[in-house]
Structure 1
């Protein structure tokens, strides 16, 4: 039994324990609230308790399906997605935050009780707040507790597939004027699967087509879990391939889904897959080097093999799924490295002068343009999602790259 498999089993056990414990606690809190409420008639309290238990089971049907059967590789019917899957997603991406907020309020209540007990002016403390102010705080507290549900609903139902086109200009200095006419579109992290079906794919395919790029570059993660889920994505790429050349590298999820079969499918459609390899293309009489490496986590990137035979005095563009590879790439004559993988964090909290992102846990290259001397990196937040299908302050992006 491999160490990776053991870690995976331990991870599943830990996740299952957290999921059950947190939801059991929240269900218990709701039931306690019902029984303590004087506004709810006694005869219906028992029925509400049964309803809460049934609701929690209902909200976890997709999770139970995943554990019992498998992770779905394609979307269910629109009805099933709307009635079963999305309620689970909204609840599943919210309840941990609701739990944390509740425990925070419990801590405040505990500290407040301690202060009152230790105060010699208890009556003054109790009378500090007017009834109106108490009511305001109660409403604010309940709003805070429910806020994760509203935020998750927005991220799942609106921002997740609200694709944007963002233009990024890269100043490479003294390059031929004709190369400044080149228009590159980059996408990444498609994650074709249950939450990236034909409907979502058609949106970003149409946006790419509307840009009329000279070339489309894809920095990996075509699938979420299974190679079979890539078929709907292939249809979109087949349409785009009839209008523009497409080059790509593989991402870590592509190896989980059998990278050999995926590479065959992409190659059959005329998509060039770089696996520590390269190709020289002609743009208006000028050679441009395109190359790509294997994923850092799931394989062995070989930059020297990828650059083998190239005249790196010419414009050289590297595709690497993981942006951390830029630390190696910048040691070579590579003008621009394109990457994805981070999803821009998928959920960002923007505060004055600072952005908090989960991606900060794995990289210093979260999204956007980075520069080291005259070497550039652009990290696109991608078009798909992984884990829970939501985005907050990180819309899915079609990146348009131009040189100045």
Structure 2
């Protein structure tokens, strides 16, 4: 009896230590991941810094409003030229599954983001497709892209809706100005396996959604991937169906407020002429 009680105590202590470790990993300040891409068609000598932010998942316990505001401040402190948000501003939390009442406070902090070339966003699979455009339109930034492209001078940005809510690749890329490099922003990068890059231009796709696996445990990998399957590109730089693709692990969590082996991250990309 005493041995069983002792074993139970040890098991409970280990479980609490595991949860504490994972919760610390989920709530620590995001690391800044830097990467460079050469893009043909940029003006000679040009260099642009693009910040990619995704999967904020506002909600208790790991992403309260003050933490999201601190992440926005951290993003601004990096002084990017362009900021892109890849979706999932709510969802995966007990108190963050609704429509407009949950989406408004989840999006409001992004109005403080600053970048001289603009701040643009797309919706994720958790974001309400009816209220998303309404909520984003009610504040000065970001500009929400729903299957559309915008010419920002040296670059073209095409933003796709979440695949769950009707991504329309043809509509977003059918009328692009010739020759300019293209940044394609979408929440779920794996679905680029069904779309070929537009010919005759340098392209880079940016996505989130995977959380980088969120918990990558020694020897057994990601428990979430046991249920949902392993993504073609979990995190970082990949090549998929002719696309150069960069996937961020994001800053928030879904379902379990734990991160192990995959820190929250802000991705700062430097684009150069090449």
Q: Quick check: 216-225 or 358-367, which moved more?
A: 358-367
Structure 1 residue matching 2:152: 3-state secondary structure: strand
Match of residue 275, structure 1, among 125, 141, 146 = 146
CA distance in 2 between partners of 1:312 and 1:306 (Å): 14
TM-score by length of 1: 0.58
1:28-47 matches, cutoff 5 A: 36-37=1-2
Identify, as 1 or 2, the structure richer in helix.
1
Q: RMSD of the TM alignment (CA)? A: 2.7
1:174-193 matches, cutoff 5 A: 175-179=42-46, 181-193=47-59
Q: CA contact under 8 A between 1:197 and 1:232: conserved in structure 2?
A: no
Q: Which residue of 2 aligns with 1:115?
A: none
Q: Which has the larger radius of gyration?
A: 1
CA distance in 1 between partners of 2:196 and 2:13 (Å): 46
Structure 1 residue 38, shift from structure 2 partner:
8.6
Q: Which residue of 1 aligns with 2:94?
A: none
Structure 2 gaps of 5+ residues are 92-96
Are residue 295 (structure 1) and residue 167 (structure 2) matched? Answer: no
Match of residue 339, structure 1, among 195, 207, 212 = 207
Structure 1 gaps of 5+ residues are 1-35, 41-137
TM-score by length of 2: 0.84
Misfit runs of 4+, over 6 Å: none
Instruction: Tell me how many residue pairs correspond in the alignment.
Output: 258
Mark the CA change 1:38 to 1:321 in structure 2 (over 3 Å): closer, same or farther: closer
Match of residue 266, structure 1, among 130, 136, 139 = 136
Identify, as 1 or 2, the structure richer in strand.
2
Q: CA contact under 8 A between 1:317 and 1:336: conserved in structure 2?
A: yes
1:4-403 matches, cutoff 5 A: 36-37=1-2, 143=10, 146-156=13-23, 158-162=24-28, 163-172=30-39, 175-179=42-46, 181-195=47-61, 196-224=63-91, 225-226=97-98, 227-241=100-114, 245-255=118-128, 259-270=129-140, 271-282=142-153, 286=154, 288-296=155-163, 298-311=164-177, 313-333=179-199, 335-350=203-218, 356-357=221-222, 358-359=224-225, 361-372=229-240, 375-403=243-271
Q: CA contact under 8 A between 1:344 and 1:366: conserved in structure 2?
A: yes
Mark the CA change 1:397 to 1:330 in structure 2 (over 3 Å): closer, same or farther: farther
